[in-house]
Amino acid sequence: MTTMSDDITTDYSAAGDPRRHVLLNPDEDLAGPDSYPRMWNMSAGMAFFQAVIRPDTPDRPEYVGVPMPSSTTDLETRGARIFAVARWNALWEAAQFRRRFFHDDTDTDADDFALLPPDLARIADLGDNNIVFIPRTQTRYYDYAPLFHLLPRATLDRFGLPMLSGGQWPFWAELANPDLYLPVDFSQRLSRAWAATIWRHLMPGSPQIAFTKDDPIRILAHNLDFWVPAVSEAMEDEMRTWPIVDTDGPSGPVRLSNGEILEGVTAGGPRVGSDLWAGEVEAAEFVERTIDAADKTGRLRDILDAVRTHRVHDDFSDRWSHAKEDFERTLNHKRSKVSVTFVELDPGPRPGDRSHRPARLQRLLGPAQPPRPRSGGRPAQRSHLPHRRREDPRLQESQRRIEAARTHSRPGGTLLRPELTPKQRSGLSTRRATIKDPWS
């Protein structure tokens, strides 16, 4: 594992070793499954607040990375900035109204601890916004610290991540820069580790390898920025259930320095501080609470339902999975459910039926004759037997002539024509007279 630091020694038991403030020795009791992973919160009373204000509708926190002084900065400047960030973040219950506890440079009667550094004061002057200050680092460890400290030790080992000391939320102060002891690709490793932790909650029964890298749910699982608001919501929901410290501070409506009443807030004592989770069992429960909170912060269930409803073949890899089997079964089931409707068409007029003729032609030709009824009510049947033929004189005459022609034929000879009647001969001569000779 490539880290930001060139120091690869693993023995950091010395009391003055700065790594003791960042890394956790795997042999310590705090590294056991009953204590690790761990996330804790410190009460606002530890930052010298006797009372806090609680808005009726708190805004969701927004994280802003700010530069923190290095160890080479003079102690007074460094200490003032660390203290200001710690006091600001301790007012998590005040949410968007936390800037009301700090004075600006024009207030000459304000104490030093009630002032903000110039760059932080400019952010506070932007308005009532629920902003949480975090140190700006290359690995973005503090951006994703709540997600990192939900991972069990086995997951850290699997993805090559170190065991760090218990995380703090909101951020108060850092005793050592964690970038020196984290891998260069910390965010990428954490993204894969987090996706592996929550995948069974998103797609139960179907492993990640059964989907392509372009699958929408797989992309969503790796998006750490999507899950940070959800885990923040889950942590605040938990801390709001903690008891309130009984102090001598003010309570009830909040009156501003100009005498006006701040609407929509109530003053009261700060809440106690405690562990948000400690151990793999409590961390696993908080993972589930984070997924539930993602419905509120990012409409997670709606996204999952939309993706599952509009699945395509490109979402699946060559591996078998329950999701792929359900998709193919649903697809084939829908195909078999294609309805076929038979439409009765008008066959049109039947042969010999003159009822469809126009009215003028109908008057000229006369009414259509109804079909001749058959004896016995049964339709006529065609037959090749001589005794079943119709007794039609014209048909008998034609048949007689054909039989006569056959009797006068001989093998190799010319078929003799039947004798023509005078009327037929006159018809032939008439037709011959109408033909014009092209050589005449």
Report the distance separating Cα 165 and Cα 227, nearest Å.
22
pLDDT along the chain (440 residues), means of 10: 49 57 86 94 91 93 89 80 93 93 72 83 93 93 96 96 92 86 95 94 82 86 95 96 89 86 92 96 96 94 85 66 65 56 60 56 57 54 49 66 61 51 54 44
The per-residue pLDDT for 39 is 96
* Residues 6 or more apart in contact with residue 373 via CB below 8 angstroms: none
State CA 50 to chain mean position distance. 45
The per-residue pLDDT for 214 is 84
The per-residue pLDDT for 17 is 61
Closest CA to 195 of 179, 178, 209: 209
Report the distance separating Cα 22 and Cα 45, nearest Å.
25
Report the distance separating Cα 68 and Cα 4, nearest Å.
18
Closest CA to 3 of 258, 235, 220, 181: 181
Burial 120-131 (b: 16+ CB within 10 A, else e): bbebbeeebbbb
Report the distance separating Cα 328 and Cα 320, nearest Å.
11
**Is the separation of the CB atoms in 43 and 249 below 8 Å?**
no
Longest dimension (CA), the chain: 145
- Residue 332 CB burial class (10 angstroms; 0-12, 13-18, ≥19): exposed
The per-residue pLDDT for 107 is 65
The per-residue pLDDT for 92 is 95
**Is the separation of the CB atoms in 77 and 69 below 8 Å?**
yes
Tell me phi and psi for residue 286, to 5 degrees.
-75, -30
The per-residue pLDDT for 319 is 67
Report the distance separating Cα 212 and Cα 323, nearest Å.
13
Amino acid at 389: R
Q: Hey, what are 119's tokens?
A: 């760059």
The per-residue pLDDT for 27 is 87
* Residues 6 or more apart in contact with residue 269 via CB below 8 angstroms: 45, 50, 51, 52, 244, 245, 246, 247, 249, 251
* Residues 6 or more apart in contact with residue 167 via CB below 8 angstroms: 37, 38, 39, 40, 145, 146, 148, 149
- Residue 44 CB burial class (10 angstroms; 0-12, 13-18, ≥19): buried
